Structure 1
Amino acid sequence: MRVLLMAYGSRGDVEPMLALGTALQALGAEVRVCAPPDFAELLDGVGIPLVPLGPSLRDMATKAVTETAKPPVESLPERAARMVATTYQAVVTAIEGCDAVVATGLLPAAAAARSAAEELGIPYLFVAYFPTYLPSPHHPPLAWPGRPLPPGVTDNRVLWDQNAEHLNALFGEAVNTHRSAIGLPPVDDVRDHVFTDRPWLAADPLLSPWPQPADLDVVQTGAWTRPDERPLPAELEAFLDAGEPPVYVGFGSMPVRDPHDVTRAVVEAARARGHRVLLSRGWADLALTDEDGDCFLVGEVNHQALFGRVAAVVHHGGAGTTTTAARAGVPQIVVPQMADQPYWAGRVAELGIGVSHDGPTPTFDSLSAALGTALTPDIRSRARELAAAIRTDGAAVAAKLLFDAVGPHTGPASA
Structure 2
Amino acid sequence: MRVLLSTYGSRGDVQPMAALAVELRELGAEVLVCAPSDEEFAKLLAEVGVEFVPAAAPVRTLVTGSAPLAPEGLPQRAAALTAAQYEVVVAAAAGCDAVVATGLVPAVAGAQSAAEKLGIHFAYVSYFPTMLPSPHHTPIQLPLWPFPPGMTDNRELWDHNAKSFNALYGPGLDAHRQAVGQATVEDVRGHVFTDRPWLAADPVLAPWRQPADLDVVQTGAWILPDDRPLPQGLTEFLAAGEAPVYVGFGSMPMRESQDVARVAVEAVRAQGRRVLFARGWADLGLVDDQDDCFVVGEVNQQALFGRVAAVVHHGGAGTTTTAARAGAPQVVVPQLADQPYWANRVAELGIGAAHAGPTPTFDSLSAALTVALAPETRDRAAAVAGTIRTDGAAVAARQLLAALGR
Give your verdict on TM over 0.5: yes
C-alpha separation between the residues in 1 aligned to 2:76 and 2:197? 27
C-alpha separation between the residues in 1 aligned to 2:359 and 2:258? 12
**Alpha carbons of structure 1 residues 164 and 260: separation in structure 2 relative to 1, 3 Å:** closer
Aligned partner of 1:118 in structure 2 is 116
Aligned partner of 1:24 in structure 2 is 24
* SS in structure 1 at match of 2:259: helix
Q: Which runs of 4+ in 1 moved over 2 A?
A: none
Does the alignment pair 1:316 with 2:318? no
C-alpha separation between the residues in 1 aligned to 2:86 and 2:292? 49
| Worse-superposed segment, 130-139 or 54-63 | 54-63
| Worse-superposed segment, 210-219 or 357-366 | 357-366
Query: In angstroms, what is the RMSD of aligned CA positions?
Result: 1.3
* SS in structure 2 at match of 1:75: helix
What's the CA shift for 1:67?
Answer: 2.7
Number of residues of Structure 1 aligned to a counterpart in Structure 2: 404
Aligned partner of 2:224 in structure 1 is 226
What's the CA shift for 1:217?
Answer: 0.2
Aligned partner of 2:2 in structure 1 is 2
**Alpha carbons of structure 1 residues 260 and 81: separation in structure 2 relative to 1, 3 Å:** closer
C-alpha separation between the residues in 2 aligned to 1:4 and 1:215? 28
Q: Which of the numbers 39, 49, 52 marks the counterpart of 1:50? A: 52
C-alpha separation between the residues in 2 aligned to 1:196 and 1:123? 12
C-alpha separation between the residues in 2 aligned to 1:118 and 1:372? 52
* SS in structure 1 at match of 2:311: strand
What's the CA shift for 1:71?
Answer: 5.2
C-alpha contact (below 8 Å) 1:310/1:330 kept by paired residues: yes
C-alpha contact (below 8 Å) 1:259/1:286 kept by paired residues: no
Q: Which of the numbers 369, 373, 398 marks the counterpart of 1:400? A: 398
* SS in structure 1 at match of 2:100: strand
What's the CA shift for 1:16?
Answer: 0.7
Aligned partner of 1:411 in structure 2 is none
Aligned partner of 1:410 in structure 2 is none
* Identity within the alignment, %: 67
What's the CA shift for 1:258?
Answer: 5.9
What's the CA shift for 1:254?
Answer: 1.6
What's the CA shift for 1:84?
Answer: 1.0
C-alpha separation between the residues in 1 aligned to 2:206 and 2:193? 19
* SS in structure 1 at match of 2:396: helix
What's the CA shift for 1:326?
Answer: 0.3
C-alpha contact (below 8 Å) 2:257/2:359 kept by paired residues: no
Aligned partner of 2:61 in structure 1 is 59
Aligned partner of 2:264 in structure 1 is 266
What's the CA shift for 1:94?
Answer: 1.4
C-alpha contact (below 8 Å) 1:260/1:287 kept by paired residues: no
C-alpha separation between the residues in 2 aligned to 1:213 and 1:295? 48
| Worse-superposed segment, 364-373 or 380-389 | 364-373
What's the CA shift for 1:50?
Answer: 1.3
1:350-365 counterparts in 2 under 5 A? 350-365=348-363
| Worse-superposed segment, 321-330 or 181-190 | 181-190
C-alpha contact (below 8 Å) 2:257/2:360 kept by paired residues: no
C-alpha separation between the residues in 2 aligned to 1:346 and 1:258? 21
**Alpha carbons of structure 1 residues 214 and 71: separation in structure 2 relative to 1, 3 Å:** closer
Aligned partner of 2:169 in structure 1 is 171
C-alpha contact (below 8 Å) 1:12/1:319 kept by paired residues: yes
* SS in structure 1 at match of 2:276: strand
C-alpha separation between the residues in 2 aligned to 1:300 and 1:331? 20
* SS in structure 2 at match of 1:33: strand
C-alpha separation between the residues in 2 aligned to 1:270 and 1:185? 56
